[in-house]
Amino acid sequence: MTTLHWIDYAIMLLYFAFVLGIGAMLRRYVHTSEDFFLSGRSIPAWVTGLAFISANLGAQEVIGMGASGAKYGIATSHFYWVGAIPAMVFVGLFMMPFYYGSRARSVPEYLKLRFDEKTRAVNAVSFAVMTVFSSGISLYAMGKLLNLLLGWSFDASILVAGGIVLGYIFLGGLTSAIYNEVLQFFLIVFGFAPLVFLGLRDVGGWAGLSARLAGVATGNGYAAGAYTRSWAFMGSASANPVGVEWFGLVMGLGFVLSFGYWCTDFLVVQRAMAANSMTAARRTPLIAALPKMLFPFLVILPGMLALVVSSTAVRSTSVPAPGAPAVASAAAAATVAPANPVPERREGIVPPKLDPRTGEPLRDARGRVVLDYDLATPMMLMHFFPAGLLGLGLTALLASFMSGMAGNVTAFNTVWTYDLYQSYIRRGAPDSHYLAMGRFATVFGVAISIVAAYVAASFNNIMDFLQLVFAFVNAPLFATFALGMFWPRATGHGAFTGLVSGILAAAVHHGMSLPAGAHVGVKGGYFGVVTTYPSELAQTFWTAIAAWVTCFVVTIVVSLLTRPRPAEQLHGLVYGLTPKPTDDVKRWYERPGPLAVIVLTLTVALNLIFF
Amino acid sequence: MGIDLRMPLGALFGVLGLLLTLYGAATRGQPGTEPTGVPVNLIWGVVLLAFGLWMLLLARRARRASKM
């Protein structure tokens, strides 16, 4: 366990003071509910753009992408260069004209305008529940991590982080969340950049990293380049550590899941809706895409480095807490373990995953120690940063937890107030009433998140189950939006039945398949195992594909059987019935079209460089 | 909306940078402060400070331009 220096605490406190100070300063600009929930649609594009990625830059991203980097290597970059970026370009160019142009105040409200009340209700309720639970799960992860690394009290960490987020959103609403997200963005960049630099320096640059990871790859039964080349081994699922072949990857992750998330999730779309003009709204995801495509270097590389940096380290204090013995002791335990045919992985600083009951390192079917990949990035921080920089790195980590949580809370209070409270509980109240309700929703949104964090702490299975349900609910969404925006014939009944059958299709597909080596239960197979996938990700991707296709087909069939809405009711909501947006910027590279071409060209180049 | 974000951004990173720079300079060469052999606190403090000042400069310019 590491004890922090006064300088580390000073950096953290300074950051907290700024975060709350911004909320306090913005308070006097909040007069109407539109100010609170949509920042009065007055924010410049570079700010909404950075907030657009920062809201998504929660714990899942920073910790999870580091973990995936350690698990899958550079192939994790597919989440960015196949997944996020093309979807962000699409939402900016083609979907934002309808979101922003329809003057809908939320994504569910767009569904209400385009389709009908019941389609909105399904989306609003599932979204509201999902956001508070996601924020609870990330709060839980934060409390656990701080307890493990620094010995801080779980309760205190959760309450303080939750309290700060509550404070600045309560005061300044969405503007405050967005401004702080930009602060958090820069903090994360500046906090993690030196980590990558020091890590690469330690292993001898990219060439040294490739050489060392080649050893890890062959040790795990893959070709030498499997961890450092993103496409070369995607031909068959068994040749790469991700366990997916290129088609499942491109369709499942690239098309269905990423478009479903970046194009329909109100958490991110809300940032663009706050922009000060149509062009700014359309440029928001495009501006966001530029730093986003470089994020693999910031969040994935630390995980890859953690596998191979020299563990004879530099800091004797960087030994993890009780409950997670250092790598050295794990190696010692491994030599004691009898009849172990496979040599242990000794390099790197990723600690082994421990059996919660016995405290012994967990082993896989081949008898090798299972590593706790979620600790890859935090261990890198503890390993390489001296007092001072460590404070900055930990503050960046805290910032990522808080920006993720704030994104969830602002999306929740808007959907709750506009789509649920104003629509079903109390209509026609004065605006000040909804503003007060928004502030109140912020309080109970945070409160439920904290409760959810404790639920997660005591019943791990419930959270696995919830995340599974969320995955089912999200998978078909993009089909509904794509048909709604580009096919005037799609009807409300069609959208609703399509959405529900898509969710059911996801559950059925998941229930009839199982990833290799998993047991029947929350991992699938509860309707009988019909197919087995080489990995959990492959199963996730194909579940999404099944949901999307079902939703797409059912929506079309039911729409054709039901009465269409007259075209004049669909103005501003559907492609072809909406005037083409005009750009109000002067320079050519500021226009959404050319910007999109630049973004896509760079993305293709990155894919080729790491092919 | 009211506040130019570059002001608080510049102020935060300016102060953080100054703090790290001074701390890095004061602890130069002391055991345990440079585990990798690089004076990272000092270098990174200067980088943060420069970024903070640049943001403040941009904000000031924008304010002058809007006044004219």
Per residue in A432-480, pLDDT (tens digit) is 889 889 898 999 899 999 998 888 888 767 767 777 777 788 889 999 9
Residue B12 CA to residue A319 CA, distance in Å, equals 31
All residues of chain A having their beta carbon less than 8 Å from the beta carbon of residue B12 are 14-15, 18, 183
Q: What percent of chain A has pLDDT over 90?
A: 20
Residue B17 CA to residue B23 CA, distance in Å, equals 10
The pLDDT of residue A317 is: 40
Q: Which of B12, B13, B41 sits opposite A389 (nearest CB)?
A: B41
The yes-or-no verdict on residue A346 having pLDDT over 70 is: no
Residue A89 CA to residue B5 CA, distance in Å, equals 25
Q: Which of A25, A182, A386 sits opposite B34 (nearest CB)?
A: A386
Structure tokens at B37: 């052999």
Using a cut of 0.90, tell me whether the model's pTM lies above it.
Answer: no
**Cβ of residue A204 closer than 8 Å to a chain B Cβ:** no
The neighbour count for residue B57, using CB atoms within 10 Å, is 12
Per residue in A369-408, pLDDT (tens digit) is 788 888 888 888 888 888 889 999 999 988 888 888 888 8
Chain A, window 360-399: residues with a beta carbon less than 8 angstroms from a chain B beta carbon? 384-389, 392
Among A269, A588, A230, A610, which residue's Cα sits nearest to residue A415?
A: A269
Per residue in A472-499, pLDDT (tens digit) is 888 899 999 999 999 999 999 999 999 9
A129, exposed or middle or buried, with CB in 10 Å at 0-12, 13-18, 19+? middle
Please, which pLDDT band fits residue A324 given cuts at 50, 70 and 90? Answer: very low
Contact A242, A72 (CB under 8 A): yes
- What does DSSP assign to residue A360? S
**Ramachandran quadrant class, A517 (left: phi over 0; alpha: psi -120 to 50; beta: rest):** left
Residue A533 CA to residue A380 CA, distance in Å, equals 32
Per residue in A189-238, pLDDT (tens digit) is 999 999 999 989 888 888 888 888 888 888 877 888 888 888 878 878 77
Supply the mean pLDDT for chain A.
84
Mean pLDDT of A27-50: 85
Q: At what angle do helices A431-458 and A460-474 cross, to 10 degrees?
A: 130
- What does DSSP assign to residue A375? G
Size of interface A-B (CB pairs under 8 A): 88
Mean pLDDT of A325-341: 38
ipTM, 2 decimals? 0.94
3-state secondary structure of A68: helix
Q: Can you say whether the dihedral through the CA atoms of A366, A368, A370, A376 is positive or negative?
A: negative
In a mutagenesis test of the B interface, which of A31, A36, A195, A392 is the best target, namely the one with the most B β-carbons within 10 Å?
A392
Per residue in A230-278, pLDDT (tens digit) is 887 887 877 888 888 888 888 888 888 888 888 888 888 888 888 888 8
Amino acid letter for position B57 = L
3-state secondary structure of A9: helix
Q: What count of residues does chain B have?
A: 68
**Cβ of residue B13 closer than 8 Å to a chain A Cβ:** yes
Q: Any idea where the domains of chain A sit in the sequence?
A: 6-313+377-458+591-609, 469-580
Please, which pLDDT band fits residue B44 given cuts at 50, 70 and 90? Answer: very high
- Domain A6-313+377-458+591-609 listed as CATH 1.20.1730.10: yes
Structure tokens at A117: 């009340």
All residues of chain A having their beta carbon less than 8 Å from the beta carbon of residue B38 are 198, 201
3-state secondary structure of A275: strand
CA nearest to A12 within chain B: B16
Element (H, E) at A560: helix A536-561
